[in-house]
C-alpha cells in the first residue's frame, strides 16, 4: 500500500464508567468519507499492535477510520484482579472474562462506542477475536459491510493447542517481553484472554446459529498456515451467509494483514468498491 500520513495519536474516550483508548481519523479532511472502517483487534491486540495498517488502508480507500483497545488492552482501563472471580462495580468489569465476553463486546460496548462517536453503518474490520466480535455485532445491528480475518465461529482442537503453546511461550519464552510495549498491563491482557479460552466452559462456544442473521456484505479471510484455526471457520461462515466472499491465502498464518498485507488490502479495496 502507498505510504500514508502517520496514524493519529490515540486519545482517551469515556463511555459511561469505562475509558477506552481510541484513534479516529479522516485520511483527507477536505473529503467526506463514504464509509468509516472500524478495526477490532485480536485477543492479544491493541491500538498500537495494528501499527500503521489501518491508516494506510483507509488512505487507500478514502475512508475514515476508528481503532480502539478493548478494556484491559493497550492503554484502555485495566481489568482488576483479572484471575479472580468475575464481577462488576459501577459498570466497570473486574475479574476473569466469561465465555460470553465477545458477545458483551459486540452487543454492549461496541454499540455504545459507535453511538458516542456518531458512527452509523460502519464497515467492521475484525481480526481473530475481533472478527468474531464483528460477526456477532453484524448479526444484530446494521452495518455497511463486514471484513473478518481469521475469525473464530467455533472452538477447534487446533485453537486450543495453539493457545496452550502461547501460554508456554508467555511463561517460559519471549512472548511476555514482546507484548509488554503494547499494553499498560501486559499480564492483564494475556491472562484474561488465555484463561477464558482454556476454560472448560468455553469449549462449547459456537456462533454458527447466529450467523444466518447477517444481511450485510461479508468478506472472510483465512491463512492456510493459521495455527489457531482451519478453513472450516470461514467455510462455516459462507455456509450460513450466502453473500460471503472468501479469500484463502497461501503462505499466511494467523495475521493476514501482517503476513499478506497487499493481498488483503487489494481484496478489501475490491470488496468496498463493489458496495
DSSP state of 255: -
Q: What is the pLDDT of residue 239?
A: 98
- How far, in Å, CA of 163 to CA of 194, rounded? 7
Q: What is the pLDDT of residue 6?
A: 56
Residue at 198 is within a domain: yes
Q: What is the pLDDT of residues 172-206, one digit of tens each?
A: 999 999 999 999 999 999 999 999 999 999 999 99
Residue at 86 is within a domain: yes
7 pLDDT more than 90: no
Query: How many domains, in total, are found in the chain?
Result: 1
Provide the grid cell at 15: 463511555
Residue at 1 is within a domain: no
Q: What is the pLDDT of residue 33?
A: 64
Q: What is the pLDDT of residue 201?
A: 95
Q: What is the pLDDT of residue 31?
A: 56
Residue at 4 is within a domain: no
Q: What is the pLDDT of residue 244?
A: 98
Q: What is the pLDDT of residues 31-51, one digit of tens each?
A: 566 899 999 999 999 999 999
Helix (H) or strand (E) holding 23: strand 18-25
- How far, in Å, CA of 209 to CA of 207, rounded? 6
Residue at 95 is within a domain: yes
CATH number at residue 162: 3.40.50.1820
Residue at 6 is within a domain: no
Q: What is the pLDDT of residues 161-172, one digit of tens each?
A: 999 999 999 999
Residue at 127 is within a domain: yes
Q: What is the pLDDT of residue 28?
A: 65
Q: What is the 3-state secondary structure (H, E, C) of 33-102?
A: CCCEEEEECCCCCCCHHHCCHHHHHHHHHCCEEEEECCCCCCCCCCCCCCCCCCEEECCEEECCCCCCHH
Boundaries of domain holding 34? 11-273
Nearest to 218 by CA among 124, 96, 142, 154: 124
209 pLDDT more than 70: yes
Nearest to 77 by CA among 61, 94, 97: 94
Residue at 210 is within a domain: yes
Q: What is the pLDDT of residues 216-235, one digit of tens each?
A: 999 999 999 999 999 999 99
Q: What is the pLDDT of residues 104-160, one digit of tens each?
A: 999 999 999 999 999 999 999 999 999 999 999 999 999 999 999 999 999 999 999
pTM of the model: 0.94
Q: What is the pLDDT of residues 66-79, one digit of tens each?
A: 999 999 999 999 99
Helix (H, G, I), strand (E, B) or coil at 148: strand
Amino acid at each position: 500500500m502507498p505510504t500514508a500520513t502517520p496514524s493519529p495519536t490515540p486519545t482517551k474516550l469515556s463511555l459511561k464508567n469505562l475509558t477506552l483508548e481510541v484513534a479516529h481519523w479522516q485520511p483527507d479532511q477536505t473529503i467526506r468519507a463514504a464509509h468509516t472502517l472500524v478495526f477490532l483487534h485480536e485477543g492479544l491486540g491493541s491500538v498500537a499492535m495494528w501499527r500503521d495498517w489501518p491508516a494506510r488502508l483507509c488512505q487507500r480507500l478514502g475512508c475514515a477510520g476508528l481503532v480502539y483497545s478493548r478494556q484491559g488492552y493497550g492503554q484502555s482501563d485495566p481489568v482488576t484482579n483479572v484471575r479472580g472471580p468475575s464481577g462488576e462495580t459501577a459498570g466497570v468489569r473486574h475479574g476473569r472474562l466469561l465465555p460470553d465476553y465477545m458477545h458483551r463486546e459486540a452487543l454492549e460496548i461496541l454499540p455504545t462506542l459507535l453511538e458516542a462517536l456518531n458512527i452509523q453503518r460502519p464497515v467492521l474490520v475484525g481480526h481473530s477475536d475481533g472478527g468474531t466480535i464483528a460477526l456477532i455485532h453484524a448479526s444484530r445491528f446494521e452495518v455497511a459491510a463486514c471484513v473478518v480475518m481469521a475469525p473464530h465461529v467455533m472452538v477447534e482442537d487446533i485453537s486450543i493447542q495453539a493457545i496452550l503453546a502461547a501460554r508456554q511461550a508467555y511463561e517460559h519464552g519471549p512472548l511476555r517481553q514482546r507484548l509488554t510495549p503494547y499494553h499498560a498491563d501486559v499480564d492483564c491482557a494475556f491472562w484474561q484472554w488465555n484463561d477464558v479460552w482454556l476454560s472448560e466452559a468455553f469449549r462449547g462456544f459456537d456462533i454458527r446459529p447466529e450467523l444466518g442473521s447477517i444481511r450485510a456484505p461479508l468478506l472472510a479471510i483465512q491463512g492456510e498456515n493459521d495455527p489457531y484455526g482451519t478453513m472450516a471457520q470461514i467455510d462455516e461462515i459462507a455456509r450460513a451467509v450466502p453473500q460471503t466472499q472468501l479469500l484463502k491465502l497461501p503462505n499466511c498464518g494467523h495475521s493476514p494483514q501482517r503476513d499478506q498485507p497487499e493481498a488483503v488490502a487489494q481484496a478489501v479495496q475490491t470488496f468496498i468498491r463493489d458496495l
